[in-house]
Amino acid sequence: MTAECLGKILSIDLDNAHNTETNVPDNYQDYLGGMGLANLLAARYTDTVTDPFSSRNPLIVTAGTLAGTPAPSSSRTSAVTLMPLNGVWGSANAGGGFAARLKWAGYEALIVTGRSPQPVYLVIEDSTVKLLPADALWGKGILETTETLWRQHKDSSVIAIGPAGEKKITFALSLVDNMATLGRGGLGAVMGDKGLKAVVVKGTQLPKIVQKNKFLTLAQDVHQRMRNLSWRDQWLRQGVYLGWARWKEELSTNNFSRRLPSEQIDRLSPRAYEKHLVRPLACISCPMADKAMVKTRGAAKPISYGLQAAMSGARWGAKDISQALDGMIEANDYGVDDLTLYAVVGWAIDMYQAGILSKEDTGGRALAHTAEQYGLLAREILERRGLGDLLAEGFLANKKRFGEEGIGLAVHIRGMDPISDPRPHSSGFLFSQLTNPRGPYVVQGNSPAFTPGKKPASLRRFLLSIGVSEDKAEIIAPDDGELDLALMVRYTEDWYAAVSSLGICARQPVIQCYGPDSAARMVAAVLGAEFNGDDLLQVGERVWNQYRLNNGLHGQEQEILPDQLYQPLTVPGSADYLLKNYEQDREVTPQYVESSLQRYYAERGWNNKGRVTSTNIERLQLSQ
């Protein structure tokens, strides 16, 4: 059944310019596609590959089970590789059209190993697979690279890197179709190390749906629910900015020591952003676009989402959203994670001010938290020049160089900077950034507890909607007690893993229109197999355990909040923020975090060090 309903796995060996095709694993239905298949395939490499820049480090790119079908918002692309920034097997996810077109070309997954002696790009057009010279593209930005490849390969989707990946900056990433970031943590550097400038895919074979009429009815129902959302029009204008009331409180600057002043926050607001909006951009099959075309400096450019510009702009001191958008567009084109870039710069400035770095280290200039200094040091990093060459390696690689005192000033979790500052409001991010093997990430562990002030009944309704039992929902969100964020994250992670294995977007307006039962019925219709909501939830649990197991072999259980986040966050003109629980009536301490994590581990059936146990390996039949 599986081999007949699904495409092949395409493996590319760059050392020998050779490709092979194989069937999906026999246990595909236990993991599904997307995140599940990517982590299942990665398990083959975890005990032999320990260096991200080894030619044997695989770049695994997969499509979800529903990718390429009419299922709304189902074209998310998953990828796994050993990430250079922190040495973990990072599971990444992005929108765009790549996953759908990979399925249309007849493939469920792409595995790239080896290293090309000359720059190349990979072209997959249905059953034709070619490696073509990329010398003319090497050194070009992602926008120009992608547009050039689109002209040469009509109706294709492109994953491309920029100069940051070519220079192996450890927080280089790639872009899918010029608008969706893929690979926070250094996936772009892995592609650069392999000499792989881009992957182009084009297909004309629609995936087989065994029970097509049933599937189309189910897909139409979900599609209509999305279009009927009362706030859909506002989402199309603002995207993730819709949560501004919460996000704006968490815009910290000066290396996470000071909240952005209110007047500067206002200049980064959604109202200011909408003045630059040209139109929303949607991924294939999605009626809820969260990408956008924006206009700055008289030119229209695609972006992933406007809120990220505000978040990164806050870090380096952008004077307004126009300047912040320009900065993010330039970073995207260069192929570098702008959030980590400016987190590393802020860290270097603090090290200078603490006397750990001298003027000799900085090329003779004093460092301060000003937009000018952030810009100068960022440029040195991107050019791998002077101090910037060291900083391009990230936090952990510099531990010996800067010592414990220097690393102590770095605000990171597993070598990666937090997405936002949790001190104004503790949410699901507080724990999902800790428990994710990859480190801080935008969506994994998503929950409505990102928003302050939710009533316990509302949180319980959400938990029930993702398959949590009534008894467990009462324990997590009691009427007369404290919300247990750590336990909530355990279940939201599994739900995220489940939908990401289907290829479904986890953004709020999409995911609230799917449920375990409705999504499972789509899987059953596609595969022509028995499959229900409980099966889907177990897939989510299995995939997250596999993800953790892949990393546990290398001891990546480091759930530690940086010291800076336990210190007061200075708020201009107001009282300082302290890290508190969701209800804001209890201070969060290292002991509080450790106690919460122990409950999380126990709920998952892991040991007290956060490692997957043999019991879970056997129960879930994980791959070792």
pLDDT in tens, 215-236: 999 999 999 999 999 999 999 9
Q: What is the percent of the chain where pLDDT is above 70?
A: 98
* Euclidean distance between CA atoms 155 and 153, whole angstroms: 7
Pairing of strands 77-82, 59-63: antiparallel
Asked if the structure places residue 234 within a domain, the reply is no
Residue 560 has pLDDT above 50, yes or no: yes
**Residue 145 domain-assigned (yes or no):** yes
The pLDDT, as a whole number, for residue 441 is: 81
Per-residue confidence (pLDDT) for residue 554, from 0 to 100:
57
> Helix (H, G, I), strand (E, B), or coil: what is residue 452?
coil
* pLDDT tens figures, 580-594: 999 999 999 999 999
Can you give the CATH number for the domain in which 504 is found?
1.10.599.10
Q: How large is the average pLDDT for residues 42-62?
A: 97
Among the candidates 167, 202, 237, a domain finishes at 202
Q: 414 and 556 in contact (C-beta within 8 Å)?
A: yes
Domain boundary residue among 167, 184, 202? 202
For the record, the structure tokens of 43 come out as 């398990």
Identify the DSSP state of 580: B
What is the model's pLDDT at position 1? 47
Q: Is the pLDDT of residue 364 over 90?
A: yes
92 torsion bin: left (phi>0), alpha (psi -120 to 50), beta (else): beta
**Which phi and psi angles does 491 have, rounded to 5°?**
-85, -35
First to last CA, the chain: 25
Is 70 exceeded by the pLDDT of residue 352? yes
CATH of the domain at 120: 3.60.9.10
Last residue of a domain, one of 170, 202, 234: 202
| Share above pLDDT 90 across residues of the chain, in percent, rounded to a whole number | 88
Instruction: Report how far apart, in Å, the C-alpha atoms of 6 and of each of 3, 109, 435, 528 are.
Output: 5, 11, 32, 11
Mean pLDDT of the chain: 94
For residue 291, being part of any structural domain is answered with no
Q: What gap in Å lies between CA 28 and CA 33, rounded to an integer?
A: 7
pLDDT digits (tens, 9 = 90+) for 418-435: 988 999 988 888 889 899
Return phi, psi of residue 115, to 5°. -145, 125
Any residues with CB less than 8 A from the CB of 480 and at least 6 apart, and which? none
Q: Report if residue 413 sits inside a domain.
A: no
Q: How far is CA 296 from the centre of its chain?
A: 26
Residue 263 placed within a domain: no
- Determine, yes or no, domain membership for 574: yes
Two tokens, residue 140 = 């070009």
Exposed, middle or buried, 456 (CB in 10 Å: 0-12/13-18/19+)? middle
pLDDT band with cut points at 50, 70 and 90 for residue 359: very high
pLDDT of residue 243: 86
Task: Decide if 381 contacts 163 (C-beta within 8 A).
Answer: no
Average pLDDT, stretch 181-204? 97
Domain count, the chain: 2
441 within domain boundaries: yes
**Could you tell me if 502 and 518 are in contact, meaning their C-beta atoms sit under 8 angstroms apart?**
no
536, part of any domain:
yes
- Which of 46, 33, 80, 82 is closest to 61 using CA atoms? 80
Q: What is the mean pLDDT of residues 104-133?
A: 97
Q: Please determine, for residue 553, whether its predicted confidence score (pLDDT) is greater than 70.
A: no
Report pLDDT for 508: 87
Token code pair at residue 115: 């290293």
What is the reported pTM?
Answer: 0.97
DSSP conformation class of 577: B
**What is the domain extent for residue 588?**
428-619
